[in-house]
Structure 1
């Protein structure tokens, strides 16, 4: 994929969206993203990698449009229409046809950055605000449908069986034993859960780099946005909450209390069934196992790339911690209250 210069990106923004201003490239794994700061606000021009299909990007756009309309209290990225009224353009470039779109830039700090600036006594409020954001996400996409939502997605927890072969390649014996036991247990329960648990379209990636926090200047902060819809899929509704818990818990000395605050915030806005709550521990642990297995595969395929394991320290530490706690510890306070 040839590299688009910032100047060329700005020319596209001006021609198709009449957006002008200062432009700079943003880091991205595969796509090319450019932040444009203009008189009327900040925007992100996104040039998709040629491997992305129109339907995949339309799925993301339609989800953001739906959430902006249904749950406006959170600052979802806004999808900007071109001067011709289109929200996703197929433009002929050097590498062929590529899809281009414009989103609003969401200000604030990532959760991973902001958590160190929040006072310890204010963290429970931040955790509850994360839970409320997840509740809005679940509620806003409750009956959302799209033809591409059923696509295969590596990070869909329903796909965990496909990476079980990586267990044998985990070098740490103690970690390998935990992942083997937990992943095999989760995979064995999948057929029953498919019949029991609500399944819906998910954002599927409310991790600490995709959650945006606004600080209040007094040692506190609240979640103001969730970004990056690239991992959307159809899976268990519970995954949305489990994923948010998984990444926030890694920053805390008391991960159980952290998860309880997130659950409390979520349930304030989006009741879950008792049977869902009873599986939350299994889903959190499964997400951690999934992360270990995906990183193990990436490291095996790219042994000289130091970045494929960069986020694993927190993941593996939390997995060891959770392996030694009561599976009901997180949800016990909520099981006797009323849910759907």
Structure 2
């Protein structure tokens, strides 16, 4: 069976997303970390389960429970956790893993959260204060900083050494941007939706104009998910907001630098009142660290469209099995109409706005 369908079938049949109660989470904290909770509540998530924790010792944490599918690949999660520490050591504001009482950075627990006993990888991470970037005015300077930070993260990750770094190849990972053609197998979720034909056109454009350019793209390790929930900001002494935290490295994969830029632009478009204006400022910040080459520049427009396709299609698919997931509902409402409007703008028009904006 096609790997994409296997993944979605497993997610549906095995109820991959954890659904632990606050009491169960508190019990894990006590048994694994000898922590007693003063406050605990859930945090937004896509397919894992996250809890904010304030312990009685006054420290704040995030308890992260990986879904049952990802928990089958502890090496991947080990590399993700290592990457966060590596970035932190190199000046990037990320979380760090907190060891259990026995010194482990992750623990595999076989538990029942409503779907029968399954194995889940549990980690405790440091808490990063700050607001989601979508909660503050998205100024040109903050967009510039977003692009700059995205480039910095991937440049640092390119220097990361780990014996299992090859696990990030993730050739069948559905969110890997180079895997856009895999969407063809799940486009049925948009039957009757006007966006289905748009996606078919983007996939064909991707095959004909982007895929042949891959030999000219520069390779790297992508953080893979520069969205508003994963970027935290705080005001500086001048009252301007600065990025103070990057969270969630579950989508890390071996890709190309320009993929990260396209992902960042697309996700900033979703939270900006004038989406088309986003690209120039993000691109300017990116190119202050890593100027695009000719091939990367020529494919940026289609790659942003490609990311829109992935988000809209996979969120719609996940809503079939998680109709009450507020995170998915939010994304579905936000992204679809912006994607539709953006898809009506031709490449030359968009590039004129973005590339001119990047020179300012």
Report SS of the residue matched to 2:271.
Answer: coil
> Aligned equivalents of 1:304 and 1:258: distance in 2?
31
2:121 counterpart residue number:
99
SS at match of 1:268: helix
Return the alpha-carbon distance in structure 1 between the equivalents of residues 48 and 302 of structure 2: 33
Residue 303 of structure 2 corresponds to residue 283 of structure 1: yes
Residue 267 of structure 1 deviates from its aligned partner by 2.0
State the superposition RMSD in angstroms: 3.1
Q: After TM superposition, list the pairs within 5 Å mapping 1:180-195 onto structure 2.
A: 180-195=200-215
- 2:65 is matched with 47
Once the two structures are TM-superposed, the CA of residue 76 in structure 1 deviates from its matched residue by 0.4
Checking the alignment, whether the CA contact within 8 Å between 2:221 and 2:255 is kept in structure 1 is yes
- Residues 150-190 of structure 1: per-residue CA shift (max 9 Å, x gap): 222111112211112444644243x3443222221112345
Q: 1:305 to 1:171 in 2, by over 3 A?
A: farther
Q: Alignment partner of 1:249: what SS? A: helix
Q: Does 1:163 align with 2:179?
A: no
Of the structure 1 ranges 124-133 and 10-19, higher mean CA displacement relative to structure 2 is found in 10-19
Write the deviation string for residues 21-80 of structure 1: whole angstroms up to 9, x where unpaired.
41413144554433222435311122333332212311220211111112x2x3201112
Question: TM-score of the superposition, structure 1-length normalised?
Answer: 0.82
Question: Which residue is 1:332 aligned to?
Answer: 355
Q: CA 1:188 to 1:170, structure 2 compared with 1: closer, same or farther past 3 Å? A: farther
Q: Which runs of 5+ in 1 are unaligned?
A: none
Greater Cα offset, 34-43 or 133-142? 34-43
* Alignment of 1:79 onto 2:97: yes
1:90 correspondence with 2:111: no
- Supply the distance in 2 between the matched residues of 1:123 and 1:137 (Cα, whole angstroms): 21
One of 29, 32, 37 as aligned partner of 1:13: 29
Q: CA deviation at 1:134?
A: 0.8
Match of 1:320 among 331, 335, 340: 340
Distance change >3 Å, CA 97–CA 179, structure 1 → 2: closer
Structure 1 runs (4+) deviating above 6 angstroms are: 334-337
Structure 2: distance between partners of 1:311 and 1:3: 20
After superposition, the Cα gap between the structure-2 partners of 1:247 and 1:202, relative to the gap in structure 1 and judged at 3 Å, is: same
Residue 334 (structure 1) shift: 8.2
Structure 2: 5+ residue stretches without partners: 1-14
Structure 2 residue 287 is the aligned partner of structure 1 residue 270: no
Contact 2:283 2:358 in 1 (8 A): no
Higher percent of residues as helix: 2
Which residue in the other structure is 1:223 paired with? 243
Partner in structure 1 of residue 52 of structure 2: 35
Supply the distance in 1 between the matched residues of 2:178 and 2:238 (Cα, whole angstroms): 42
Paired with 1:224 and 1:232, the residues of 2 have a C-alpha distance of 20
Q: Cα deviation per residue 1:296-334 (whole Å; 9 max; x = unaligned)?
A: 4445x4596686554234323333333314242254348
Of 232, 236, 240 in structure 1, the residue corresponding to residue 260 of structure 2 is 240
Q: 1:311: which partner in 2?
A: 331
Q: CA deviation at 1:9?
A: 3.6
> Separation in 1 of the partners of 2:322 and 2:59?
42
Matching of residue 143 in structure 1 with residue 159 in structure 2:
yes
Cα displacement string for residues 85-133 of structure 1 (whole angstroms, at most 9, x for unaligned residues):
321223454536532221001111112223xxx2xxx711111121122
C-alpha distance in structure 2 between counterparts of 1:267 and 1:170, whole Å? 39
**Distance in structure 1 (CA, Å) of the matches to 2:68 and 2:314:** 23
- The answer (yes or no) to whether the contact 1:10–1:20 under 8 Å persists in 2 is yes
Q: What TM-score results when the alignment is normalised by the length of structure 2? A: 0.78
Q: Give the drift of 1:259.
A: 1.5
CA shift in 2, pair 1:109/1:258, >3 Å: same
Alignment length, in residue pairs? 327
